[in-house]
Amino acid sequence: MARMKFLCDAERCIECNACVTACKNEHEVPWGVNRRRVVTIQDGKPGERSISVACMHCSDAPCMAVCPVDCFYQTEQGVVLHSKDLCIGCGYCFYACPFGAPQYPQAGNYGSRGKMDKCTFCAGGPEDDMSSLEFQKYGRNRLAEGKLPICAEMCSTKALLAGDGDQVSNIFRERIVARGFGSGAWGWGTAYSIKG
Amino acid sequence: MLRKKTSGVARGPLSSSFIGKAAETVVDRRAFLRGSGLAIGGLATAAALVGSNVTPAHAVGAGAAVEIKKSVCTHCSVGCTVVAEVQNGVWTGQEPGWDSPINLGAHCAKGASVRETASGERRLKYPMKLTGGKWVRMSWDDAINEIGDQMLDIREKSGPDSVYWLGSAKHSNEQAYLFRKFYAYWGTNNGDHQARICHSTTVAGVANTWGYGAMTNSYNDMHNSKAIFIIGGNPAEAHPVSLMHVLKAKEQNNAPVIVCDPRFTRTAAHADEYVRFRPGSDVALIWGIMWHIFDNKWEDKEFIRQRVYGMEDVVAEVKKWDPAETERVTGVPGEQLKRVAKIMANNRPGTFVWCMGGTQHTNGNNNTRAYCALQLALGNMGTAGGGANIFRGHCNVQGATDFCVLSHSLPGYYGLSAGAWKHWARVWDEDIDWLKGRFDSIKGKDGKSKSLMNMKGIPVSRWIDGVLEDKDNIDQPDNLRAMVFWGHAPNSQTRLKEMKTAMEKLDLMVVIDPYPTVSAVLSDRTDGVYLLPATTQFETYGSVTASNRSLQWREKIIEPSFDSLPDHTIIYKFAKKFGFADRMFRKIKVTNDEPYVEDVTREFNGGMWTIGYTGQSPERIKAHMANQHVFDRTTLQAVGGELDGEYYGLPWPCWGTAEMGHPGTPLLYDTSKPVAEGGLCFRARFGVEHEGNNLLAEGSYPVGSEIKDGYPEFTMGMLKKLGWDGDLTADERSAIEKVAGDKTNWKVDLSGGIQRVAIKHGCAPFGNAKARVKVWTFPDPIPLHREPLYTSRRDLVADYPTYSDRKLYRLPTLYKSIQDVDHTAAYPMILTSGRLVEYEGGGDETRSNPWLAELQQDMFVEMNPFDANGKNIRNGDMVWVKTPEGAQIKVMAQVTERVARGVAFLPFHFGGHLEGKDLRSKYPEGSDPYVLGESANTAFTYGYDSVTLMQESKCSLCTIERV
């Protein structure tokens, strides 16, 4: 069984925000809630890099560990999902999450935040696959339709990869080899700084 | 632990309010959901959201069959395929277009949210007119009649040239062609579109160098590049999907990426070498690089000998640009430029990319020709991986340029000469004398009457001067009195305050657009403005030309929303009102006032011989769209199947008739392939000799050519001399005979016979010549560095002065008299402008898209911490940016090292604020974009290119003060 993973290749991400609007468009995520966001470090300086961040669907997910009402569950493919019926909007998962993934529709403390919303890896929620209830609460269930997350599928530079962790690693590994190997003269870029 | 539930549970708490009332005639996904109480909107709902916030329509419309429609993104020129899911006539979802060889499923923020454009709530919904300061709804018939009557009255009193027809790079090819034909039938050359303020200096510079004014290679071909040189372009934001191809070359070929830009852009962040130089010093920078190339003898001598004319004059000019002088003018150290030169010399073929940073200058045509000279010196032209990859801006700016929605040419760059008019009259089956009668005339200096038919019209960059200038100074009978903005954002043009005055002086203003645009709110008019809702390209169909010259076919995704009509229908309605519809559409079927698009394609197929828009029949383009998966993703060539050997989208020139089956030309001037298979040489456009020197190619020719040397362009007489006229069919021969006998050339032969026979013998119909780096017909034959009009470097003005004042395109144009005044004491900083990834053009469409608007909510100015600290300005403070012509804009300060000390940067997509005043209340109700802001061009100043009147919007002066 595949283990679903995201990978954002910082050498390729150009902060075009396609992943953000593709997600919003696919799931009708409202203004103010961002399941996915692009973060830029060293903005405007040499070394500037951007990465697209959403729920990473961790193996040992901290959100699951801290949730007081146990609203999270992990699918057999490793996707971390939650039930908006059980969620009390306490915000613990937000503090536990290393990626800042959980989003709340309202500002405020505890229950006044509303139901937590986050990236579902385009895999819906506890309701029946592709049912209208599932759509209303969690968005489209692309995995059930045999498709992968729309953010990665539409990424402008193929920086954001999503899918079976083994395949994602293989694609990334090929790029690493190409970057290191160059035009056949292994290590020249690294050794002599100027290409060619 | 919780597991998947098998039955539905009670819904969570629901509440929602949505902004704007969607009109009755449109059903968007949100309106679809209204009954469920789950719909969500934009800003107004941000505070009232609940957990159950996701609401795709097909949940509601469960069971409705999903229909897939293919279109092409309407933002930049990359040409990304949009795959739409449609249910019950509602556009409910978007899937990646994996099969497209151009974008391979990818999109940027704009492309991933185009669905919102087609069914957005903030669209202009009905025809409206401004009456007593209020927008009043009206019917289409009343609108056309009222506007038409007023125009006919202006025509009667002031002549046809007093109405200005401003077209659009957003039109499809068919609409652009009809639009150009329309204002020819109206009887004026006062028509233009955004290409003027986008790449006009490229088209003029490049076409005058090697024949055609377009991107020579393709986005995909950059996979073959060994080096990538980008100047004055920020494709990571302006053409994000192109970076997929750039980064592939960077990774797989180890190709160094060099970015030259005054601003450390998001593209620069991915460069191996970032060259920061002073805005407006492009020519100096390029000559500074070439100084090292010539100094080290890195130029390609054999290529230059065979295929370039005038290089020795460039060498002489470049000698002046030693490292010291280059650094004095550009600010770039010689060591870095030597490294850049070496990288380019050692990594051939390298490609050269430029955009608006190079073109929008008073000497923009010099910049573009200097870029060409560098590529020619390196021998990088006409080869896979090399080329001048000029990224165009709008989705169909290439097509609209090719159809010459311009003030100086007929479709296909035929120009405005008597011969050009005769050619098109022949294509249109039109009586040339009737056409002549439509035009006004003026008295020339010699006292003779001259028809305005053959004189360039006023370009879009100067329409305001056509209104404001004293009419005695303009070469036409009267001032402009009516403006038609047919798909144009006025805030994309400089001198907005003067534009406001001009708008107020007009008798009549008509805006035809899916959005009201800034035109609706900028002026203080209370009457005489009409807004007519046009559809987006997703609500109609037709062909569109991507930057790489490939044509793609858009399907209609949904029926027109609200009361909107496709542009070609609106053109027909006006033609009918003016009484020439039967003439203009005599070869085109019309149903319910809508011209049949395929008939329009076939009509231009019959006339666009110069640039080979003749082989792309609607059937062929559609077949490519339907079989995208068979095309190779690097060469763009179909492998196997019925399309075997053809290039994706039949990139022009696609010679001859569709029946001839030419595969399109993927790379211009590539001699490694026969012409019949997409090969080419440089065009013989400038005669056969200059000052006694041979201009034809020497010993270089496309593979398979029966003439093993240079040759002039083909005529019937030449075919006879070569003894090849026997290959013509009887029909071709009689068609040629009818035009001009032996003098008939490859451009005006309506049978395509001359092209067919030339290609049969391996020759290019347009001849085989050298490229020229010396354009003796331009103000600066060899490109020269000239200081900007508003320069911060007064010390350089004496050495590198601008041009003298002169008259261009009917209007007085200032250079020296502006540069002579020193403004640097009050305005010490350099002001430049550029794009953001989330928005496009004037931004009315994208700022009305909530998904995009959310990402960029404030207009800002980027300034260096050094300058900010000096003025006690902190990041996020509101500041006034003031410029020398007396304008000021109130924007947010973004303090960043992205810009150098002494340089400020403005994004140009905002509108709806004017000098601190919010104009939101002036939009028709419910049609105001989510995000408004000051327009960069309120601040931008005077300055126009010396050949094309391109506006200067990359280099001015300013001062910044805290509010």
Rounded to whole angstroms, the Cα distance separating B155 from B166 reads 17
Task: Please check whether the domain covering B200-390 is classified as CATH 3.40.228.10.
Answer: yes
Total-model pTM: 0.93
Residue B229, exposed/middle/buried by CB under 10 A (0-12, 13-18, 19+)? buried
Rounded to whole angstroms, the Cα distance separating B895 from B901 reads 11
What residues contact B825, with CB distance under 8 A and at least 6 apart?
A: none
Candidates A16, A86, A87, A115, partner chain B, best to mutate (most B CBs within 10 A)? A16
Residue B293 has which token pair? Answer: 């190339």
Half-sphere exposure of B834 (CA within 13 A, CB side): 30
How close B669 comes to chain A (CA, Å)? 27
A192 pLDDT tier (thresholds 50, 70, 90): low
Count of pairs with CB atoms under 8 A, one residue in A, one in B: 243
pLDDT of residue B60: 41
The partner residue sitting opposite A71, judged by closest CB among B2, B109, B226, is B2
Total number of domains constituting chain A: 1
How close B727 comes to chain A (CA, Å)? 49
Judged by CB atoms closer than 8 Å, whether chains meet at A29 and B62 is answered as no
How close A98 comes to chain B (CA, Å)? 22
CA-closest candidate to residue B869, choices B840, B896, B892? B896
Q: What are the residue ranges spanned by the domains of chain B?
A: 139-195+397-533+565-595, 200-390, 794-962
Q: Does B105 touch chain A (CB under 8 A)?
A: yes
Judged by CB atoms closer than 8 Å, whether chains meet at A21 and B256 is answered as no
At position B750, the amino acid (one-letter code) is L
pLDDT tens digits, residue range A133-150? 999 999 999 999 999 999
Q: Is residue A179 included in any domain, yes or no? A: no
Judged by CB atoms closer than 8 Å, whether chains meet at A137 and B29 is answered as no
Judged by CB atoms closer than 8 Å, whether chains meet at B264 and A48 is answered as yes
Residues of A in contact with B94 (CB under 8 A): 22, 25-26
pLDDT tens digits, residue range A7-33? 999 999 999 999 999 999 999 998 889
- Asked if A66 and A96 touch (Cβ cutoff 8 Å), the reply is yes
What is the CATH number assigned to the segment(s) B139-195+397-533+565-595?
A: 3.40.50.740
A173-180 long-range contacts, Cβ below 8 Å, gap at least 24? A175/A9, A175/A11, A175/A12, A175/B251, A178/B251, A178/B252, A179/A11, A179/B251
Judged by CB atoms closer than 8 Å, whether chains meet at B38 and A17 is answered as no
Q: How far is CA B489 from CA A10, B12, B391, in A?
A: 35, 44, 20
User: Hey, which bits of B525-646 come out as E strands?
Assistant: 529-533, 542-545, 551-554, 590-591, 594-595
Fold designation for B794-962 = Barwin-like endoglucanases (2.40.40)
Residue B313 has which token pair? Answer: 């004059």
Residue B389 has which token pair? Answer: 């990859």
Judged by CB atoms closer than 8 Å, whether chains meet at B855 and A26 is answered as no
The domain containing residue A64 runs over which residues? Answer: 4-165
The partner residue sitting opposite A21, judged by closest CB among B38, B96, B852, is B852
Backbone region of residue B930 per phi and psi (left: phi > 0; alpha: psi in -120 to 50; beta: other values): alpha
Residues of A in contact with B342 (CB under 8 A): 194
Residue B826, exposed/middle/buried by CB under 10 A (0-12, 13-18, 19+)? exposed
Q: Is residue A170 included in any domain, yes or no? A: no
- What's the gap between Cα B551 and its chain centre? 15
pLDDT of residue B118: 87
Count of CB atoms situated within 10 Å of the CB of B45: 21
pLDDT tens digits, residue range B570-586? 999 999 999 999 999 99
How close B621 comes to chain A (CA, Å)? 25
Candidates A9, A14, A83, A140, partner chain B, best to mutate (most B CBs within 10 A)? A14
**Closest chain A residue by Cα to residue B253:** A183
Question: For strand B878-882 and strand B956-962, is the pairing parallel, antiparallel, or unpaired?
Answer: antiparallel
Give this complex's ipTM: 0.93
pLDDT of residue B855: 95
Q: How many helices (H) and strands (E) does chain A have?
A: 7, 6
- Asked if B390 and B214 touch (Cβ cutoff 8 Å), the reply is yes
How close B48 comes to chain A (CA, Å)? 7
Task: State percent of chain A over pLDDT 70.
Answer: 89
Judged by CB atoms closer than 8 Å, whether chains meet at B107 and A116 is answered as no
Judged by CB atoms closer than 8 Å, whether chains meet at A25 and B56 is answered as no
Candidates A137, A154, A188, A190, partner chain B, best to mutate (most B CBs within 10 A)? A154
Candidates B2, B100, B836, B867, partner chain A, best to mutate (most A CBs within 10 A)? B2
What residues contact B569, with CB distance under 8 A and at least 6 apart?
A: B593, B594, B595
Rounded to whole angstroms, the Cα distance separating B439 from B452 reads 6
pLDDT of residue A181: 54
User: Hey, which bits of B630-741 come out as E strands?
Assistant: 689-690, 693-694
pLDDT of residue B298: 97
Candidates A28, A143, A181, partner chain B, best to mutate (most B CBs within 10 A)? A28
φ, ψ at B603 (rounded to 5°) = -65, -45
Return residues 624-683 of B near A (CB < 8 Å): none
Residues of B in contact with A156 (CB under 8 A): 106-108, 240-241, 243-244
Q: Does B837 touch chain A (CB under 8 A)?
A: yes
User: How would you write A28-94 as a 3-class SS string?
Assistant: CCCCCCCCCEEEEECCCCCCCEEEEECCCCCCCCHHHHHCCCCCEEECCCCCEEECCCCCCCCCHHH
Give B396's DSSP letter. Answer: T
Judged by CB atoms closer than 8 Å, whether chains meet at B51 and A183 is answered as no
CATH of the domain at A139: 3.30.70.20
The partner residue sitting opposite B252, judged by closest CB among A14, A147, A178, is A178
At position B696, the amino acid (one-letter code) is L
pLDDT < 70 regions, chain B = 1-63
The partner residue sitting opposite A140, judged by closest CB among B40, B56, B851, is B56
Rounded to whole angstroms, the Cα distance separating B939 from B882 reads 7
Query: B325-355: buried (b, 16+ CB within 10 Å) or exposed (e) per residue?
Result: bbbebbbbebebbbbbbbbbbebbbbbbbbb
Residues of A in contact with B29 (CB under 8 A): 28
- Asked if B250 and A175 touch (Cβ cutoff 8 Å), the reply is no
DSSP code string of B640-662:
SSTTTTPBTT-PSPB-S-GGGT-
Rounded to whole angstroms, the Cα distance separating B487 from B466 reads 20
CA-closest candidate to residue B520, choices B830, B141, B932? B932
Q: Does B897 touch chain A (CB under 8 A)?
A: yes
Judged by CB atoms closer than 8 Å, whether chains meet at A18 and B107 is answered as yes
A194 pLDDT tier (thresholds 50, 70, 90): low
Q: Is residue A148 included in any domain, yes or no? A: yes
